[in-house]
Structure 1
Amino acid sequence: MVTVAGVHVDGDHWIGGERSPSPRTFDDVSPIDEQVIAQIARGGAHEADAAVQAATKAFPAWARTHRDERARILHAIADQVEKRLDRLAIVETVDNGALLRSHLHGVMPRVAHNFRFFADWLLNLGRDDFETRGHRNHVSWDPAGVCALITPWNAPLMLATWKIAPALAAGNTVVLKPAEWSPLTASLLAGITVEAGLPDGVFNVVQGYGEEAGAALVAHPGVHRIGFTGSVPTARRIAQAAAGNLTPLSLELGGKSPLIVFADADTELALDLAVRQYDNAGQVCLAGVRLLVEESIAAEFTERLVDEVAKLRQGDPRDAATDVGPQIHREHLARIDGFVQRAKQAGATALIGGEPGGGLHYRPTLFTGVAADSEIVNEEVFGPVLTLQTFRGEDQAVELANSTRFGLAATLVTGSPERAKRVAGRLVAGTVWVNCFFVRDLRAPFGGARQSGIGREGGDWSFDFYCDVKNTVFAPGGWNG
């Protein structure tokens, strides 16, 4: 047990309703000052197996629990999150370096909303029966079993609960492997589930590295669903491991999303949306990091954008005046700088930024003069690095937008509703925002095309994945049950 920002946090695993240590630990380092804030249990195959066994044992009773009771408990979890919102926010800020004001006003309230939404959706889940030659068809959603969920570090608790909430609502049990760079709020969530009355073993947390604890989980024959958010290379390894057991996968992967600005766009809106792509120090998979600007307005737009980016304030994420916090880890900072320096060597021009900014900060960077086939245009940097290319007309805009192997999202800024419909219909993306950004409704499908993912989650799509969807056909005979 350690104290982080005045909050007591346990670094052990949570398995079968109990804290469980490991012989080995690893350091959890705060990106704010690179100081060790906790020793975290380093799990592996043994802990993964213990957690799967605990989840397997708990599954039958939880699966039989009436949906009203499951929904009640999920709402109770949301209640506990809201009671602890300030503590969850400060711990996650210290742990992953994201802005405290974002955690307080956006991220942590969304955690509670995730649980409430899927609790309520569960209560209304169902479709009308339909008839086939006098026979009645009845569709139902049966719990699948044990779900292994592996989640990222950029918005740890919110992104984890996008998966945890529907998995639990569906009647499954869960083993969560949080990212080793930001493990603390997952541990706090375990304590919250106890307060809310979730039975032992229904929710488990195994801490550790992906190649140890994560690899053991996804290859485990007792796992019935795998949900993963992260990088394409890791997803390939997970898919290979899951193939041996034919375990269904939901993969939410990276992006290299375009932000397309047409000459008829509201310039102030377009500039605001472009600057927002530096949120969370650029560590957002959905960010529109490839700015595509119509040639006729590109010079003025670029000049004004550089002026706006220069106003962003870097600093301590706990300070309300800070706009851009640190990168998550020294290793990640070096990765970002590697992309930037190689882009410079390839002939790209950094109009602003292009270097570290002290500590784990990286200066917000904007590149022009980038080749369409260059690394900086085609590979996910996952940092505060944007590129700007120009286009002439819709066809070239669409061609550039669809030119990478990714297809997670796209943002389109135009004053023409007709153009918006035409262009949006041609973009390869799981989500397209028109004159807006980052509007996320859990009723809508979320996921990526191409190498940005497999599957969709949200609303019925989540339950379709986390359940075995069954059709029962009743012969004619007057049954009305």
Structure 2
Amino acid sequence: MAPRALASTATVAGVPVDTRHWIGAERVASPATFTDRSPIDGTALASLARGGAEEAKAAVAAARAAFPGWAATPPAERARLLHAVADGVEARTEELARVETADNGALLRAHRRGVMPRAAHNLRFFADWLLRLGHDDFTTRGHTNHVSWDPSGPALLITPWNAPLMLATWKIGPALAAGCTVVLKPAEWAPLTASLFADIAHGAGLPPGVLNVVQGYGAEAGAALVSDPGVRRISFTGSVPTARHIAAGAAERLVPVSFELGGKSPLLVFADADLDLAVDLAVEQYDNAGQVCLAATRLLVEERIADAFLERFLDRAGALRQGDPREADTDVGPSIHPRHLERVDGFVRRALASGARVALGGGPHTELNDATGGTYYRPTLLTEVAQHSEIVQEEVFGPVLTLQTFRTEDEAVTLANGTRFGLAATLATGDPARADRVSARLTAGTVWVNCFYVRDLAAPFGGSRESGIGREGGAWSFDFYCDVKNTVTAPKGWQQHG
């Protein structure tokens, strides 16, 4: 599919970013565009090509055409190319960090120190895992069983806006390592680093069509990609309602899906916990303005220490500085988009109308928003919330926490498991036996004990209940992106050759 227009570039944070799709190693424009704005101050960053059915069809066709050659590429060469792409990410860490901060409003220092290095690490990890992927042969009545992993075909990867590049490489790394080709659909609210990544991958020598990027809205580009018969795997991170639409489309063709969805995770604080550690863990949930699927937004605190916990929490959280995420002393940045800000505030207003009380925050940071044109919501804590209430049951995805108390271990577990989600849980206790008991009873894909957000790519990651389908990480990722084959060979029957 040939480009329809000359080069189209926007300069974001001093970095040139191509605003067109990346399809078959070519830049492709679209008749329609959409505007990407910064949550920091509301300024327009770029007008990007807005994909639809035609661009989706072309991207999947390019991925299909490239698949046989990429699948046949020796694992060592695939690994080498992934390391080369990681080298390119590391070489452009500063540019990627500045662009993504402008695009999604997350802290610049976090992008520099952690997020962008992690994006490169994602690629390196799966490149290295590929070279040791295997299963020991075993015998059945003298017959040899040999397990192998065959690439499944073009993979559609649909990624969110809260950590765009890091979460994209979390999917791209294993998909490409496995021998699949990729069509990436980035979130329309933060698409810019996906375009830069396409340039980096091309510069590293990734063959044409192995990686494709289609920009646009989910209802247009996303829906067209999901329904394309050439797609053989779909990996999606996002909301439960969108996942239902994707699952319905995939079901018609029996395409396997991997979903990492919403969360309403608890933080259980027992009276025997290190109280300062527990407060630190709770305040950490405001990271990225609360726009973290894993965030432990439900604080469940043993009744006899609740007052002491709340006092220390308000002291620590009240000292957080909210403002421009590009400034070194900022702790909490903006919400991603004005519509999202309204959504978050709607949850809080309805909770207050239902009897909840504000212990901290409770609304948009009006003064800051008026001064900057940004979308800042104050870090908020609500108390006197009922277990059945919307604010406890539904994912807000903003800097809004709730506080409930419990008296017994059984009550704590009942409250923790009392939603339709099961992505993660965090536990603060000084008793190892209690940690083992409670962790075993919690419904969650990941449980952290006296820590938070420690993630090893070798570990399984995913959610229970409506928090997801499947597990990714280590061999689990290759199991998803491949068709796992067992070849059984008889001990006799060979013809003599010679």
State the TM bucket, normalised to the shorter chain. over 0.9
SS in 2 for 1:263: coil
Counterpart of 2:32 in structure 1 is 24
SS in 2 for 1:140: strand
Q: Which one of the candidate residues 431, 447, 450 is aligned to 1:435?
A: 450
Counterpart of 1:138 in structure 2 is 146
Counterpart of 1:407 in structure 2 is 422
Counterpart of 2:344 in structure 1 is 336
Counterpart-to-counterpart distance in 2, 1:198 and 1:299: 57
Counterpart-to-counterpart distance in 1, 2:193 and 2:413: 40
Counterpart of 1:477 in structure 2 is 492
TM-score norm. by structure 2 comes to 0.96
Q: Which one of the candidate residues 459, 462, 465 is aligned to 2:474?
A: 459
Q: Unaligned 5+ residue runs, structure 2?
A: 1-8, 370-374
Q: Which one of the candidate residues 303, 320, 325 is aligned to 1:312?
A: 320
Counterpart-to-counterpart distance in 1, 2:296 and 2:27: 41
Matched ranges for 1:20-419 at <5 A: 20-358=28-366, 359=369, 360-419=375-434
Amino acid at match of 1:120: D
Amino acid at match of 1:382: F
1:432: Cα distance to partner? Answer: 0.1
Counterpart-to-counterpart distance in 2, 1:455 and 1:18: 33
SS in 2 for 1:126: coil
Amino acid at match of 2:104: N
Amino acid at match of 1:147: A
Counterpart-to-counterpart distance in 1, 2:253 and 2:57: 15
Counterpart of 2:21 in structure 1 is 13
Counterpart of 2:4 in structure 1 is none
Counterpart-to-counterpart distance in 1, 2:414 and 2:18: 50
Amino acid at match of 1:445: P
User: How many residues end up aligned between the 2 structures?
Assistant: 479
1:447: Cα distance to partner? Answer: 0.1
Counterpart-to-counterpart distance in 2, 1:315 and 1:66: 49
Counterpart-to-counterpart distance in 2, 1:236 and 1:204: 24
For residues 207-241 of structure 1, what are the alpha-carbon distances to aligned partners after superposition, in whole Å with 9 as ceiling and x for unaligned?
A: 00000000111111110000000000000000011
SS in 2 for 1:247: coil
| RMSD after superposition | 0.7
1:478: Cα distance to partner? Answer: 9.3
1:393: Cα distance to partner? Answer: 1.3
Amino acid at match of 1:364: P
Counterpart-to-counterpart distance in 2, 1:299 and 1:347: 20
1:384: Cα distance to partner? Answer: 0.2
Counterpart of 2:5 in structure 1 is none
SS in 2 for 1:468: strand
1:307: Cα distance to partner? Answer: 1.4
1:299: Cα distance to partner? Answer: 1.0
SS in 2 for 1:107: helix
Counterpart-to-counterpart distance in 2, 1:9 and 1:114: 23
For residues 27-75 of structure 1, what are the alpha-carbon distances to aligned partners after superposition, in whole Å with 9 as ceiling and x for unaligned?
A: 0001111011101100011100000000000000000000000000000
Amino acid at match of 1:461: W
Counterpart-to-counterpart distance in 1, 2:472 and 2:130: 14
SS in 2 for 1:145: coil
Counterpart of 2:3 in structure 1 is none
Counterpart-to-counterpart distance in 2, 1:234 and 1:32: 26
SS in 1 for 2:382: strand
1:477: Cα distance to partner? Answer: 3.4
SS in 2 for 1:407: coil
List structure 1 segments (4+ residues) > 6 angstroms apart after TM superposition. none
Amino acid at match of 2:400: V
Counterpart-to-counterpart distance in 2, 1:434 and 1:478: 56
Amino acid at match of 1:283: Q
SS in 1 for 2:326: coil
TM-score norm. by structure 1 comes to 0.99
% identity of equivalent residues: 72
1:300: Cα distance to partner? Answer: 1.3
Q: Unaligned 5+ residue runs, structure 1?
A: none
For residues 229-287 of structure 1, what are the alpha-carbon distances to aligned partners after superposition, in whole Å with 9 as ceiling and x for unaligned?
A: 00000000000111111110000000000000000000110010000000000000000
SS in 2 for 1:9: strand
